[in-house]
Chain A
Amino acid sequence: MIQQERMIVVRQSEIAQHIFELTLQGQIVQDMAPGQFVHIRVSDSFEPLLRRPLSIANIDKEAGEATIIYRAEGRGTEILSTKQIGDEVDVLGPLGNGFPVDAAPEGGTVLLVGGGIGVPPLYELSKVLNARGIRTIQVFGFATEDVAFYEEQFSTLGDTHFVTVDGTNGTKGFVTDLLEELKPEFDLFYACGPLPMLRALERFYPEKPGYLSFEERMGCGIGACFACVCKTTEATDQDYVKVCSDGPVFPKGVIQL
Protein backbone atom coordinates (compact mmCIF):
# COMPACT_ATOMS: atom_id res chain seq x y z
CA MET A 1 0.00 0.00 0.00
CA ILE A 2 1.42 3.37 -1.05
CA GLN A 3 1.50 5.87 1.79
CA GLN A 4 2.64 9.39 2.34
CA GLU A 5 4.51 10.02 5.55
CA ARG A 6 6.73 12.61 7.14
CA MET A 7 9.66 10.40 8.03
CA ILE A 8 12.30 11.44 10.55
CA VAL A 9 15.99 11.65 9.70
CA VAL A 10 17.87 9.45 12.19
CA ARG A 11 21.30 9.44 10.52
CA GLN A 12 23.01 11.01 7.54
CA SER A 13 26.62 10.89 6.44
CA GLU A 14 28.78 11.21 3.35
CA ILE A 15 30.20 7.72 2.80
CA ALA A 16 32.07 8.48 -0.43
CA GLN A 17 32.59 11.55 -2.57
CA HIS A 18 29.13 13.15 -2.97
CA ILE A 19 27.58 9.83 -1.96
CA PHE A 20 25.27 10.10 1.05
CA GLU A 21 23.77 7.47 3.29
CA LEU A 22 20.50 8.66 4.80
CA THR A 23 18.46 6.70 7.33
CA LEU A 24 14.81 7.56 7.85
CA GLN A 25 12.37 6.33 10.44
CA GLY A 26 8.66 5.80 9.88
CA GLN A 27 5.73 3.44 9.45
CA ILE A 28 6.25 3.06 5.70
CA VAL A 29 9.29 0.89 6.44
CA GLN A 30 7.02 -2.01 7.45
CA ASP A 31 5.77 -2.33 3.86
CA MET A 32 9.14 -2.10 2.10
CA ALA A 33 10.73 -4.88 0.05
CA PRO A 34 14.13 -5.08 -1.66
CA GLY A 35 14.26 -3.28 -5.00
CA GLN A 36 11.42 -0.89 -4.25
CA PHE A 37 11.95 2.85 -4.10
CA VAL A 38 10.72 5.90 -2.25
CA HIS A 39 9.72 9.23 -3.79
CA ILE A 40 11.07 12.05 -1.66
CA ARG A 41 10.04 15.67 -1.56
CA VAL A 42 13.18 17.46 -0.43
CA SER A 43 11.47 20.78 0.33
CA ASP A 44 8.02 21.84 1.48
CA SER A 45 8.13 24.78 -0.94
CA PHE A 46 7.63 24.73 -4.72
CA GLU A 47 11.37 24.75 -5.27
CA PRO A 48 12.32 22.19 -6.32
CA LEU A 49 8.83 21.09 -7.26
CA LEU A 50 9.02 17.39 -8.03
CA ARG A 51 9.89 14.44 -5.83
CA ARG A 52 13.13 12.48 -6.20
CA PRO A 53 12.89 8.71 -6.75
CA LEU A 54 15.55 6.95 -4.65
CA SER A 55 16.14 3.25 -4.18
CA ILE A 56 16.08 1.58 -0.79
CA ALA A 57 19.44 0.16 0.35
CA ASN A 58 18.58 -1.23 3.74
CA ILE A 59 15.34 -2.11 5.53
CA ASP A 60 15.28 -2.54 9.30
CA LYS A 61 11.69 -3.33 10.20
CA GLU A 62 12.46 -3.86 13.89
CA ALA A 63 13.85 -0.34 14.26
CA GLY A 64 11.38 1.04 11.74
CA GLU A 65 14.27 2.45 9.73
CA ALA A 66 15.17 2.47 6.08
CA THR A 67 18.42 3.61 4.52
CA ILE A 68 18.86 5.18 1.14
CA ILE A 69 22.17 5.85 -0.57
CA TYR A 70 22.20 8.59 -3.17
CA ARG A 71 24.56 10.85 -5.07
CA ALA A 72 24.14 14.56 -4.35
CA GLU A 73 24.47 15.86 -7.87
CA GLY A 74 21.53 18.15 -8.51
CA ARG A 75 19.38 20.74 -6.78
CA GLY A 76 17.12 18.19 -5.12
CA THR A 77 19.67 15.73 -3.81
CA GLU A 78 21.94 18.57 -2.66
CA ILE A 79 19.12 19.91 -0.49
CA LEU A 80 18.45 16.40 0.79
CA SER A 81 22.11 16.05 1.78
CA THR A 82 21.76 19.01 4.17
CA LYS A 83 19.01 17.35 6.23
CA GLN A 84 19.95 16.96 9.86
CA ILE A 85 19.02 14.39 12.48
CA GLY A 86 15.47 15.08 13.62
CA ASP A 87 14.39 16.79 10.38
CA GLU A 88 11.21 15.60 8.72
CA VAL A 89 11.12 14.50 5.10
CA ASP A 90 7.94 14.03 3.02
CA VAL A 91 8.15 10.48 1.67
CA LEU A 92 5.80 8.65 -0.69
CA GLY A 93 6.24 4.92 -0.77
CA PRO A 94 7.10 2.22 -0.98
CA LEU A 95 6.78 2.40 -4.75
CA GLY A 96 7.29 -0.02 -7.59
CA ASN A 97 7.88 -3.75 -7.70
CA GLY A 98 11.12 -4.99 -6.21
CA PHE A 99 13.35 -7.95 -6.95
CA PRO A 100 11.50 -11.27 -7.04
CA VAL A 101 13.47 -13.02 -4.28
CA ASP A 102 11.46 -16.23 -4.70
CA ALA A 103 12.98 -16.64 -8.16
CA ALA A 104 16.26 -17.66 -6.51
CA PRO A 105 16.36 -21.45 -6.04
CA GLU A 106 16.74 -22.79 -2.50
CA GLY A 107 20.37 -23.50 -1.74
CA GLY A 108 21.37 -21.92 -5.04
CA THR A 109 23.83 -19.23 -6.01
CA VAL A 110 22.95 -15.86 -7.46
CA LEU A 111 25.10 -13.22 -9.11
CA LEU A 112 24.48 -9.61 -8.09
CA VAL A 113 25.84 -6.99 -10.44
CA GLY A 114 25.72 -3.27 -9.71
CA GLY A 115 27.09 -0.14 -11.26
CA GLY A 116 27.67 3.15 -9.44
CA ILE A 117 24.57 4.50 -7.77
CA GLY A 118 22.75 1.35 -8.95
CA VAL A 119 24.55 -0.67 -6.27
CA PRO A 120 22.46 0.35 -3.20
CA PRO A 121 19.26 -1.70 -3.75
CA LEU A 122 21.40 -4.82 -4.14
CA TYR A 123 22.48 -4.56 -0.51
CA GLU A 124 19.03 -5.23 0.93
CA LEU A 125 18.52 -7.89 -1.73
CA SER A 126 21.77 -9.59 -0.75
CA LYS A 127 20.77 -9.56 2.92
CA VAL A 128 17.41 -11.15 2.16
CA LEU A 129 18.90 -13.79 -0.14
CA ASN A 130 21.64 -14.72 2.32
CA ALA A 131 19.08 -15.00 5.12
CA ARG A 132 17.32 -17.58 2.95
CA GLY A 133 20.52 -19.57 2.62
CA ILE A 134 21.22 -18.48 -0.93
CA ARG A 135 24.84 -17.80 -1.80
CA THR A 136 25.63 -14.47 -3.44
CA ILE A 137 28.52 -13.58 -5.73
CA GLN A 138 28.71 -9.79 -5.89
CA VAL A 139 30.35 -7.73 -8.58
CA PHE A 140 30.21 -3.96 -8.44
CA GLY A 141 31.60 -1.34 -10.76
CA PHE A 142 32.44 2.26 -9.92
CA ALA A 143 34.12 5.09 -11.82
CA THR A 144 36.88 5.42 -9.25
CA GLU A 145 37.78 4.49 -5.66
CA ASP A 146 36.59 7.88 -4.34
CA VAL A 147 32.97 7.14 -5.24
CA ALA A 148 32.98 3.46 -4.28
CA PHE A 149 31.14 2.35 -1.15
CA TYR A 150 29.89 -0.57 0.96
CA GLU A 151 32.80 -2.93 0.23
CA GLU A 152 32.92 -4.04 3.85
CA GLN A 153 29.16 -4.38 4.20
CA PHE A 154 28.87 -6.55 1.11
CA SER A 155 31.92 -8.62 2.07
CA THR A 156 30.16 -9.90 5.18
CA LEU A 157 27.43 -11.33 2.94
CA GLY A 158 29.33 -13.06 0.16
CA ASP A 159 32.17 -13.05 -2.37
CA THR A 160 32.57 -9.40 -3.26
CA HIS A 161 34.51 -8.01 -6.20
CA PHE A 162 35.02 -4.35 -6.98
CA VAL A 163 35.87 -2.98 -10.38
CA THR A 164 36.83 0.62 -11.16
CA VAL A 165 37.14 2.25 -14.54
CA ASP A 166 40.51 3.73 -13.57
CA GLY A 167 41.76 0.73 -11.60
CA THR A 168 42.01 2.58 -8.26
CA ASN A 169 40.07 -0.22 -6.54
CA GLY A 170 40.05 -3.82 -7.73
CA THR A 171 40.15 -4.78 -11.36
CA LYS A 172 40.50 -1.99 -13.89
CA GLY A 173 37.65 -1.70 -16.39
CA PHE A 174 33.98 -2.63 -16.37
CA VAL A 175 32.06 -5.33 -14.53
CA THR A 176 31.96 -7.44 -17.68
CA ASP A 177 35.78 -7.45 -17.81
CA LEU A 178 35.85 -8.96 -14.36
CA LEU A 179 33.06 -11.42 -15.11
CA GLU A 180 35.02 -12.67 -18.10
CA GLU A 181 37.99 -13.34 -15.86
CA LEU A 182 35.97 -14.70 -12.93
CA LYS A 183 33.62 -16.99 -14.87
CA PRO A 184 31.31 -17.38 -11.87
CA GLU A 185 28.94 -20.31 -11.58
CA PHE A 186 25.43 -19.22 -10.65
CA ASP A 187 21.72 -19.94 -11.17
CA LEU A 188 20.40 -16.46 -11.91
CA PHE A 189 21.45 -12.84 -11.74
CA TYR A 190 20.04 -9.58 -10.45
CA ALA A 191 21.45 -6.28 -11.67
CA CYS A 192 21.03 -2.54 -11.25
CA GLY A 193 23.06 0.13 -12.96
CA PRO A 194 23.52 2.18 -16.10
CA LEU A 195 21.92 1.01 -19.36
CA PRO A 196 25.19 0.03 -21.08
CA MET A 197 25.92 -2.29 -18.15
CA LEU A 198 22.47 -3.89 -18.28
CA ARG A 199 22.75 -4.27 -22.04
CA ALA A 200 26.17 -5.93 -21.70
CA LEU A 201 24.86 -8.35 -19.07
CA GLU A 202 21.93 -9.43 -21.23
CA ARG A 203 24.38 -10.22 -24.01
CA PHE A 204 26.89 -11.83 -21.66
CA TYR A 205 24.45 -14.31 -20.13
CA PRO A 206 21.92 -15.18 -22.82
CA GLU A 207 21.12 -18.54 -21.19
CA LYS A 208 20.77 -17.39 -17.59
CA PRO A 209 17.57 -16.01 -16.08
CA GLY A 210 18.06 -12.48 -14.82
CA TYR A 211 16.27 -9.48 -13.38
CA LEU A 212 17.24 -5.91 -14.16
CA SER A 213 16.37 -2.77 -12.21
CA PHE A 214 15.99 0.35 -14.34
CA GLU A 215 16.39 4.03 -13.72
CA GLU A 216 14.37 6.62 -15.66
CA ARG A 217 13.42 10.26 -15.21
CA MET A 218 10.10 10.24 -13.35
CA GLY A 219 7.25 12.58 -12.64
CA CYS A 220 4.61 11.13 -10.35
CA GLY A 221 6.27 7.80 -9.49
CA ILE A 222 2.91 6.01 -9.36
CA GLY A 223 2.17 5.37 -13.05
CA ALA A 224 -0.07 8.33 -13.86
CA CYS A 225 2.10 10.79 -15.76
CA PHE A 226 3.67 8.56 -18.45
CA ALA A 227 7.08 10.22 -18.11
CA CYS A 228 9.05 7.00 -17.55
CA VAL A 229 7.69 4.75 -20.29
CA CYS A 230 10.04 2.34 -22.04
CA LYS A 231 9.45 0.40 -25.22
CA THR A 232 9.27 -3.35 -24.78
CA THR A 233 10.73 -6.10 -26.93
CA GLU A 234 8.75 -8.34 -29.24
CA ALA A 235 8.95 -11.08 -26.61
CA THR A 236 6.22 -9.33 -24.61
CA ASP A 237 2.57 -8.66 -25.41
CA GLN A 238 2.72 -5.05 -24.21
CA ASP A 239 3.82 -2.07 -26.30
CA TYR A 240 5.41 -0.31 -23.37
CA VAL A 241 5.99 -0.47 -19.64
CA LYS A 242 6.20 2.26 -17.02
CA VAL A 243 9.43 1.98 -15.03
CA CYS A 244 7.86 3.42 -11.87
CA SER A 245 4.75 1.26 -11.49
CA ASP A 246 5.41 -1.77 -13.72
CA GLY A 247 9.06 -1.88 -12.59
CA PRO A 248 11.60 -0.71 -11.69
CA VAL A 249 12.66 -4.39 -11.79
CA PHE A 250 11.88 -6.37 -14.95
CA PRO A 251 12.91 -9.81 -16.10
CA LYS A 252 15.68 -9.48 -18.68
CA GLY A 253 14.46 -9.23 -22.25
CA VAL A 254 11.35 -7.18 -21.47
CA ILE A 255 12.68 -3.67 -22.12
CA GLN A 256 14.32 -2.72 -25.40
CA LEU A 257 17.93 -2.01 -24.56
Chain B
Amino acid sequence: MSHLSIQLPGLELKNPIMPASGCFGFGKEYGKLYDLSKLGAIMIKATTVETRFGNPTPRVAETPAGMLNAIGLQNPGLEKVMKNELPYLEQFDVPIIANVAGTITEDYVEVADKISAAPNVKALELNISCPNVKHGGITFGTDPVIARELVEAVKKVSKVPVYVKLSPNVTDIVEIAKAVEAGGADGITMINTLIGMRLDERTGKPVIANGTGGLSGPAVKPVAIRMVYEVYKAVKIPIIGMGGVSNAQDVIEFMSAGASAVAVGTANFVDPFVCPKIIEELPEKLDRLGVKYVKEIIGRSHR
Protein backbone atom coordinates (compact mmCIF):
# COMPACT_ATOMS: atom_id res chain seq x y z
CA MET B 1 0.00 0.00 0.00
CA SER B 2 1.29 3.42 -0.94
CA HIS B 3 1.92 5.83 1.89
CA LEU B 4 -0.39 8.37 0.29
CA SER B 5 -3.33 6.11 -0.60
CA ILE B 6 -6.76 6.66 0.90
CA GLN B 7 -9.86 4.47 0.63
CA LEU B 8 -13.24 6.18 0.63
CA PRO B 9 -16.70 5.01 -0.41
CA GLY B 10 -16.44 4.31 -4.13
CA LEU B 11 -12.96 5.82 -4.32
CA GLU B 12 -9.54 4.21 -4.30
CA LEU B 13 -7.37 7.30 -4.11
CA LYS B 14 -3.65 7.07 -4.99
CA ASN B 15 -3.25 10.16 -2.90
CA PRO B 16 -5.63 12.49 -1.07
CA ILE B 17 -5.35 15.34 -3.60
CA MET B 18 -8.01 16.24 -6.15
CA PRO B 19 -8.96 19.39 -8.02
CA ALA B 20 -12.24 20.88 -6.76
CA SER B 21 -15.31 21.18 -8.93
CA GLY B 22 -15.54 24.37 -10.96
CA CYS B 23 -11.79 24.96 -10.83
CA PHE B 24 -10.72 22.32 -13.31
CA GLY B 25 -13.39 22.36 -16.03
CA PHE B 26 -13.66 18.83 -17.35
CA GLY B 27 -9.92 18.33 -17.20
CA LYS B 28 -9.03 19.05 -20.84
CA GLU B 29 -7.07 22.24 -20.20
CA TYR B 30 -5.00 20.69 -17.42
CA GLY B 31 -4.61 17.44 -19.35
CA LYS B 32 -2.44 19.38 -21.78
CA LEU B 33 -0.16 20.46 -18.94
CA TYR B 34 0.43 17.25 -16.99
CA ASP B 35 -0.60 13.60 -16.67
CA LEU B 36 -3.96 13.64 -14.90
CA SER B 37 -3.34 10.07 -13.68
CA LYS B 38 -1.14 11.63 -11.00
CA LEU B 39 -4.24 12.97 -9.24
CA GLY B 40 -6.11 11.20 -6.46
CA ALA B 41 -9.40 11.99 -8.19
CA ILE B 42 -10.99 14.74 -10.28
CA MET B 43 -14.14 16.62 -9.30
CA ILE B 44 -15.55 17.75 -12.62
CA LYS B 45 -17.48 20.96 -13.21
CA ALA B 46 -21.12 20.95 -12.13
CA THR B 47 -23.38 19.28 -14.64
CA THR B 48 -27.03 20.19 -15.10
CA VAL B 49 -29.67 18.54 -17.28
CA GLU B 50 -29.66 21.42 -19.75
CA THR B 51 -26.89 23.48 -21.32
CA ARG B 52 -26.21 26.59 -19.24
CA PHE B 53 -24.44 29.73 -20.33
CA GLY B 54 -24.07 31.07 -16.81
CA ASN B 55 -24.06 34.65 -15.59
CA PRO B 56 -23.09 37.85 -17.42
CA THR B 57 -19.50 39.08 -17.12
CA PRO B 58 -17.62 40.33 -15.16
CA ARG B 59 -17.84 37.05 -13.29
CA VAL B 60 -14.71 37.22 -11.18
CA ALA B 61 -13.14 39.83 -8.93
CA GLU B 62 -9.98 39.64 -6.93
CA THR B 63 -10.13 40.22 -3.17
CA PRO B 64 -7.43 40.19 -0.47
CA ALA B 65 -5.89 36.69 -0.62
CA GLY B 66 -8.92 35.45 -2.50
CA MET B 67 -11.38 35.93 -5.29
CA LEU B 68 -15.10 36.22 -5.86
CA ASN B 69 -16.74 34.33 -8.67
CA ALA B 70 -20.24 34.17 -10.04
CA ILE B 71 -19.85 31.90 -13.05
CA GLY B 72 -23.36 30.53 -12.62
CA LEU B 73 -22.88 26.80 -13.33
CA GLN B 74 -21.96 27.25 -16.97
CA ASN B 75 -21.77 23.77 -18.48
CA PRO B 76 -22.61 22.01 -21.74
CA GLY B 77 -25.41 19.95 -20.18
CA LEU B 78 -25.75 16.28 -19.23
CA GLU B 79 -25.86 14.83 -22.72
CA LYS B 80 -22.69 16.56 -23.95
CA VAL B 81 -20.83 15.87 -20.71
CA MET B 82 -21.61 12.17 -21.12
CA LYS B 83 -20.74 12.16 -24.81
CA ASN B 84 -17.71 14.48 -24.97
CA GLU B 85 -16.24 15.22 -21.56
CA LEU B 86 -16.27 11.97 -19.57
CA PRO B 87 -14.91 9.80 -22.43
CA TYR B 88 -11.92 12.17 -22.72
CA LEU B 89 -11.08 11.50 -19.07
CA GLU B 90 -11.20 7.71 -19.57
CA GLN B 91 -7.65 7.76 -20.95
CA PHE B 92 -6.39 8.62 -17.45
CA ASP B 93 -6.17 6.24 -14.51
CA VAL B 94 -8.15 8.48 -12.17
CA PRO B 95 -11.57 8.20 -10.54
CA ILE B 96 -14.06 10.94 -11.43
CA ILE B 97 -16.38 12.55 -8.93
CA ALA B 98 -19.28 14.07 -10.86
CA ASN B 99 -20.70 17.28 -9.44
CA VAL B 100 -24.48 17.21 -9.90
CA ALA B 101 -26.58 20.39 -9.92
CA GLY B 102 -30.11 21.39 -10.75
CA THR B 103 -33.09 23.63 -10.11
CA ILE B 104 -35.58 21.09 -8.75
CA THR B 105 -35.23 17.62 -7.21
CA GLU B 106 -36.12 15.94 -10.51
CA ASP B 107 -33.12 17.63 -12.18
CA TYR B 108 -30.70 16.23 -9.61
CA VAL B 109 -32.29 12.79 -9.89
CA GLU B 110 -32.06 12.77 -13.68
CA VAL B 111 -28.40 13.87 -13.78
CA ALA B 112 -27.46 11.49 -10.94
CA ASP B 113 -29.23 8.54 -12.56
CA LYS B 114 -27.47 8.96 -15.90
CA ILE B 115 -24.05 10.29 -14.98
CA SER B 116 -23.52 7.65 -12.27
CA ALA B 117 -23.70 5.02 -15.01
CA ALA B 118 -20.58 6.38 -16.75
CA PRO B 119 -17.71 3.90 -16.36
CA ASN B 120 -15.21 6.36 -14.85
CA VAL B 121 -17.63 8.14 -12.50
CA LYS B 122 -16.91 6.54 -9.13
CA ALA B 123 -18.86 8.94 -6.92
CA LEU B 124 -21.28 11.84 -7.13
CA GLU B 125 -20.99 15.19 -5.41
CA LEU B 126 -24.39 16.78 -4.92
CA ASN B 127 -24.08 20.50 -5.37
CA ILE B 128 -26.57 21.91 -2.89
CA SER B 129 -24.40 24.90 -2.21
CA CYS B 130 -23.81 26.96 -5.35
CA PRO B 131 -24.39 30.57 -4.27
CA ASN B 132 -24.54 31.95 -7.79
CA VAL B 133 -27.78 30.63 -9.24
CA LYS B 134 -31.17 32.06 -8.40
CA HIS B 135 -33.00 28.76 -8.15
CA GLY B 136 -31.86 25.39 -6.83
CA GLY B 137 -28.31 25.02 -5.61
CA ILE B 138 -28.01 26.69 -2.27
CA THR B 139 -31.74 26.56 -1.49
CA PHE B 140 -31.27 22.80 -1.03
CA GLY B 141 -28.25 23.35 1.14
CA THR B 142 -29.63 25.71 3.74
CA ASP B 143 -32.64 23.72 4.95
CA PRO B 144 -31.84 20.39 6.66
CA VAL B 145 -35.20 18.79 5.81
CA ILE B 146 -34.99 19.66 2.11
CA ALA B 147 -31.32 18.61 1.99
CA ARG B 148 -32.13 15.23 3.52
CA GLU B 149 -35.03 14.61 1.13
CA LEU B 150 -32.86 15.42 -1.87
CA VAL B 151 -30.15 13.01 -0.74
CA GLU B 152 -32.75 10.28 -0.24
CA ALA B 153 -34.13 10.83 -3.74
CA VAL B 154 -30.70 10.79 -5.38
CA LYS B 155 -29.52 7.76 -3.39
CA LYS B 156 -32.40 5.76 -4.88
CA VAL B 157 -31.09 6.16 -8.42
CA SER B 158 -27.33 6.55 -8.06
CA LYS B 159 -25.14 3.58 -8.97
CA VAL B 160 -22.20 5.03 -7.06
CA PRO B 161 -21.69 6.54 -3.59
CA VAL B 162 -23.11 10.02 -3.06
CA TYR B 163 -21.19 12.82 -1.41
CA VAL B 164 -22.89 16.09 -0.57
CA LYS B 165 -21.17 19.45 -0.95
CA LEU B 166 -22.10 21.72 1.92
CA SER B 167 -22.49 25.47 1.97
CA PRO B 168 -20.79 27.56 4.64
CA ASN B 169 -23.57 30.16 4.25
CA VAL B 170 -25.67 28.67 7.04
CA THR B 171 -26.10 29.32 10.74
CA ASP B 172 -25.23 25.76 11.74
CA ILE B 173 -23.37 23.61 9.24
CA VAL B 174 -23.37 20.65 11.65
CA GLU B 175 -27.16 20.46 11.46
CA ILE B 176 -27.03 20.18 7.64
CA ALA B 177 -24.20 17.64 7.82
CA LYS B 178 -26.22 15.43 10.18
CA ALA B 179 -29.29 15.77 7.96
CA VAL B 180 -27.50 14.58 4.81
CA GLU B 181 -25.92 11.73 6.77
CA ALA B 182 -29.38 10.70 7.96
CA GLY B 183 -30.53 10.89 4.34
CA GLY B 184 -27.97 8.25 3.40
CA ALA B 185 -25.06 10.35 2.12
CA ASP B 186 -21.84 8.35 1.83
CA GLY B 187 -19.64 11.34 2.45
CA ILE B 188 -19.46 15.11 2.74
CA THR B 189 -17.43 17.59 0.73
CA MET B 190 -16.95 21.00 2.25
CA ILE B 191 -16.90 23.93 1.98
CA ASN B 192 -18.35 25.66 -1.06
CA THR B 193 -17.69 29.40 -1.37
CA LEU B 194 -18.77 32.10 1.07
CA ILE B 195 -21.16 34.69 -0.36
CA GLY B 196 -19.39 38.00 -0.70
CA MET B 197 -19.39 41.28 -2.56
CA ARG B 198 -16.91 43.84 -3.80
CA LEU B 199 -17.81 47.37 -4.82
CA ASP B 200 -16.13 49.39 -7.52
CA GLU B 201 -14.02 52.23 -6.16
CA ARG B 202 -15.32 54.76 -8.65
CA THR B 203 -18.99 53.84 -9.15
CA GLY B 204 -19.77 52.29 -5.77
CA LYS B 205 -21.54 49.49 -7.62
CA PRO B 206 -20.76 45.75 -7.40
CA VAL B 207 -17.75 44.72 -9.51
CA ILE B 208 -19.41 41.41 -10.39
CA ALA B 209 -22.36 41.65 -12.77
CA ASN B 210 -24.32 39.21 -10.61
CA GLY B 211 -23.89 41.53 -7.63
CA THR B 212 -22.71 38.88 -5.20
CA GLY B 213 -20.17 36.13 -5.77
CA GLY B 214 -18.65 33.20 -3.96
CA LEU B 215 -15.46 33.95 -2.04
CA SER B 216 -12.66 31.40 -2.33
CA GLY B 217 -8.91 31.20 -1.93
CA PRO B 218 -6.55 31.35 1.07
CA ALA B 219 -8.79 33.97 2.73
CA VAL B 220 -11.48 31.37 3.47
CA LYS B 221 -9.23 28.60 4.79
CA PRO B 222 -9.68 29.30 8.52
CA VAL B 223 -13.47 29.20 8.09
CA ALA B 224 -13.23 25.90 6.23
CA ILE B 225 -10.90 24.36 8.82
CA ARG B 226 -13.24 25.34 11.63
CA MET B 227 -16.24 23.84 9.83
CA VAL B 228 -14.47 20.58 8.93
CA TYR B 229 -13.36 20.34 12.56
CA GLU B 230 -16.95 20.71 13.82
CA VAL B 231 -18.56 18.42 11.27
CA TYR B 232 -15.95 15.69 11.85
CA LYS B 233 -17.03 15.52 15.48
CA ALA B 234 -20.70 15.22 14.55
CA VAL B 235 -20.85 12.66 11.71
CA LYS B 236 -19.44 9.21 10.98
CA ILE B 237 -19.23 9.57 7.18
CA PRO B 238 -15.92 10.77 5.67
CA ILE B 239 -15.23 14.36 4.70
CA ILE B 240 -13.38 15.68 1.68
CA GLY B 241 -12.14 19.08 2.81
CA MET B 242 -11.59 22.19 0.69
CA GLY B 243 -11.36 25.95 1.00
CA GLY B 244 -8.18 27.83 0.19
CA VAL B 245 -5.86 24.84 -0.09
CA SER B 246 -2.65 26.02 -1.76
CA ASN B 247 0.14 23.74 -0.55
CA ALA B 248 0.98 20.50 1.27
CA GLN B 249 0.89 22.23 4.64
CA ASP B 250 -2.74 23.18 4.04
CA VAL B 251 -3.53 19.56 3.16
CA ILE B 252 -2.10 18.42 6.48
CA GLU B 253 -4.13 21.07 8.31
CA PHE B 254 -7.39 19.96 6.66
CA MET B 255 -6.70 16.29 7.34
CA SER B 256 -5.77 17.05 10.92
CA ALA B 257 -9.14 18.77 11.32
CA GLY B 258 -10.87 15.64 10.07
CA ALA B 259 -10.79 15.55 6.27
CA SER B 260 -9.98 12.16 4.71
CA ALA B 261 -8.95 13.81 1.45
CA VAL B 262 -8.54 17.36 0.22
CA ALA B 263 -9.68 19.26 -2.83
CA VAL B 264 -7.74 22.12 -4.37
CA GLY B 265 -9.79 24.91 -5.95
CA THR B 266 -8.73 28.47 -6.62
CA ALA B 267 -5.03 27.58 -6.37
CA ASN B 268 -5.36 25.86 -9.77
CA PHE B 269 -6.01 29.30 -11.29
CA VAL B 270 -2.94 30.78 -9.64
CA ASP B 271 -0.69 27.85 -10.53
CA PRO B 272 -2.10 25.25 -12.93
CA PHE B 273 0.57 22.78 -11.77
CA VAL B 274 -0.33 23.12 -8.08
CA CYS B 275 -1.95 19.68 -7.64
CA PRO B 276 1.05 17.62 -8.83
CA LYS B 277 3.32 19.96 -6.86
CA ILE B 278 1.37 19.29 -3.65
CA ILE B 279 1.41 15.53 -4.29
CA GLU B 280 5.17 15.72 -4.70
CA GLU B 281 5.64 17.84 -1.55
CA LEU B 282 3.40 15.80 0.70
CA PRO B 283 5.70 12.83 1.57
CA GLU B 284 8.44 15.16 2.79
CA LYS B 285 5.99 17.08 4.98
CA LEU B 286 4.76 13.79 6.44
CA ASP B 287 8.32 12.61 7.07
CA ARG B 288 8.96 15.76 9.03
CA LEU B 289 5.97 14.94 11.22
CA GLY B 290 7.20 11.38 11.65
CA VAL B 291 4.09 10.08 9.91
CA LYS B 292 4.35 7.01 7.67
CA TYR B 293 0.87 6.78 6.17
CA VAL B 294 -1.05 9.94 5.34
CA LYS B 295 -4.27 8.41 6.65
CA GLU B 296 -2.78 8.44 10.16
CA ILE B 297 -3.23 12.20 10.38
CA ILE B 298 -6.97 12.21 9.64
CA GLY B 299 -8.66 13.89 12.59
CA ARG B 300 -5.49 14.00 14.70
CA SER B 301 -6.49 17.36 16.16
CA HIS B 302 -9.33 15.56 17.97
CA ARG B 303 -7.13 12.94 19.62
Per-position 1/0 for B268-279, Cβ under 8 A of A: 111111000000
B33, B54, B69: the one within 8 Å of A219 (CB): B69
Size of B's binding interface in residues, CB under 8 A: 36
Across the interface, do B269 and A219 meet the contact criterion of CB distance under 8 Å? yes
Given contacts A49-B270, A224-B23, contact A240 B58 (CB under 8 A): no
Across the interface, do B217 and A222 meet the contact criterion of CB distance under 8 Å? no
Across the interface, do B65 and A47 meet the contact criterion of CB distance under 8 Å? yes
Q: Which residue on B lies nearest to A240, using beta carbons? A: B53
> Taking the nearest CB of chain A, how far is it from the CB of B30, in angstroms?
7
A41, A92, A217: the one within 8 Å of B60 (CB): A217
Per-position 1/0 for B26-51, Cβ under 8 A of A: 00111011000000000000000001
Does B211 interact with chain A (Cβ within 8 Å)? no
For B65, what are the chain A residues with a Cβ–Cβ distance below 8 Å?
A: 46-47, 49
Interface size class of A (residues with CB under 8 A): 20 to 34
Does B198 interact with chain A (Cβ within 8 Å)? no
Does A245 interact with chain B (Cβ within 8 Å)? yes
Per-position 1/0 for A71-112, Cβ under 8 A of B: 000000000000000000000100000000000000000000
Q: Which residue on A lies nearest to B221, using beta carbons? A: A46
> Taking the nearest CB of chain B, how far is it from the CB of A54, in angstroms?
15
Across the interface, do A46 and B29 meet the contact criterion of CB distance under 8 Å? no
A47 to B65, CA, bound (A): 5
> Taking the nearest CB of chain B, how far is it from the CB of A238, in angstroms?
11
- Select the stretch in A55-63, A127-135, A186-194, A225-233 that faces chain B: A225-233
Does B90 interact with chain A (Cβ within 8 Å)? no
Across the interface, do B268 and A47 meet the contact criterion of CB distance under 8 Å? no
Does B301 interact with chain A (Cβ within 8 Å)? no
Across the interface, do B273 and A50 meet the contact criterion of CB distance under 8 Å? no
A257 to B246, CA, bound (A): 37
B53, B57, B62: the one within 8 Å of A48 (CB): B62
> Taking the nearest CB of chain B, how far is it from the CB of A181, in angstroms?
34
For B28, what are the chain A residues with a Cβ–Cβ distance below 8 Å?
A: 223
Does B178 interact with chain A (Cβ within 8 Å)? no
> Taking the nearest CB of chain A, how far is it from the CB of B140, in angstroms?
22
Does B105 interact with chain A (Cβ within 8 Å)? no
Across the interface, do B30 and A4 meet the contact criterion of CB distance under 8 Å? no
Does B25 interact with chain A (Cβ within 8 Å)? yes
Interface residues of A (CB under 8 A from B): 2, 4, 41, 46-51, 92, 216-231, 239-240, 245
Given A49-B270, A229-B54, 20 new contacts (CB under 8 A): A49-B65, A49-B266, A50-B269, A217-B60, A217-B61, A218-B60, A219-B67, A219-B69, A220-B269, A223-B25, A224-B23, A224-B29, A224-B30, A225-B60, A226-B25, A226-B54, A229-B57, A229-B74, A231-B53, A240-B53
| Sample (29) of A-B pairs whose CB atoms are under 8 Å apart | A46-B217, A46-B246, A47-B64, A48-B62, A49-B217, A49-B218, A49-B266, A50-B67, A216-B57, A217-B57, A217-B59, A217-B60, A217-B61, A218-B60, A219-B60, A219-B269, A220-B29, A220-B272, A222-B33, A224-B23, A224-B272, A225-B23, A226-B54, A226-B59, A226-B71, A227-B58, A227-B59, A228-B57, A229-B57
